[in-house]
Amino acid sequence: MTYVNIVGTSNTFPISGAWVDHEMIDNYLWVLCCLRGSVWPDVDDSSSSKKNNHNNTTTATPLLPSVFITDNEKALRNAITNAFPECKQLLCYKQIKNNFKKQLLPMMKEDEDGDKRGFLDKLAGHLDQIVLKCTISEEEKKEIDAYLRFAKDNCKDQGKSAKAFLERKMHDKENWVNTYVFKHPHFGNRTSNRAESAHASLKHALGTSSGKLKTVTMKIVKCYEALRRLTTECLGESTTVVFDKINSSRLNDICHKICRFAMDHIKLELAKSIIPEKLTKECECLINYNYLLPCYHQLAQYKKISISCIPRR
């Protein structure tokens, strides 16, 4: 049997898990529907939006997962679409890049030392820009053109394989190209590394990949309990950024009430907010979108940072 391990990120923490006999859409859908019914029982199955009676607008329920990241497994993606139609799906960039290197390495020319990887890494650098840096369509087009030019000059087939790879992937560009995903609250996660790491840690804790179902399940529960204790310890104040007493007092209302991850980001933003030159720049801060946290432009308006400024999630 296969164990489906569901984890959350920022600080990686276990949410739930389930045993299934096969990795297929019906089984994944059952797991996800059980998850939704257990954690979000009051959210309507068809929509996570709530009606605002004052102005007839709708706002998304903030407690539902904002983003799911997958390795592009078709059965899992279809199950997520059915169970969480409101949530954005992103594709793991590590998986895309690994496939890219595997497919393109044989097609690269050799450098002076007879090595292909130097040219491959430079071509992958253009892919990095498309996936992680470009925020407007003009930047995206410019980087794609640079990618195709470099491939034409440094691939044995004049860049035909590199072009074909990109064209295939661009059919699903809304789920991995930065221009389309950079404003989604992915909390800094663009790969499934954290989930894979959590799964590896779970396997290590079990010590075996086989055994009686009850025995293995009890080991998983014990491992989950230990991880939850560690997650609880992440609540509190960090010492990443040190302020004078006046600015430290601005954090009194949120100290020990939000996770250390959020506190670290707020401290870094607060440090920027006390620099006048920073505040003169137009706000293009992605922390609002990616982490759902206030940026330094917003924090500068408050004498004290209220807990109401921090989303519940």
* DSSP string for 15-74: EEEEEESS-SHHHHHHHHHHHHHHH-TTS-SS--EEEETTTTEEEE-TTS-SEEEE---H
The pLDDT value recorded for residue 53 is 37
The pLDDT value recorded for residue 52 is 35
CB 261 within 8 A of CB 10: yes
Contacts of 37 (CB under 8 A, 6+ apart): none
Beta bridge partners of 4: 18
Sign, Cα dihedral of 128, 117, 98, 104: positive
Beta bridge partners of 3: 19
Residues 199-231 have pLDDT tens digits of 777 777 777 656 677 787 888 888 777 777 766
Q: What are phi and psi of 291, to 5 degrees?
A: -120, -5
The pLDDT value recorded for residue 10 is 57
Give the C-alpha separation, 99 to 84, whole Å. Answer: 28
Domain parsing of the chain, residue ranges: 2-91+191-223, 93-177, 245-309
Q: What is the pLDDT along the chain (313 residues), one digit of tens a residue?
A: 677 777 766 556 677 778 888 889 999 999 999 989 888 887 764 444 444 333 333 334 457 888 899 999 999 999 999 999 989 999 999 999 999 999 999 999 998 888 899 999 999 999 999 999 999 999 999 999 999 999 999 999 999 999 999 999 999 999 999 999 998 888 888 888 877 877 777 777 777 656 677 787 888 888 777 777 766 665 554 544 555 555 678 888 888 788 777 888 888 888 877 777 667 777 778 888 888 888 888 888 888 888 888 877 6
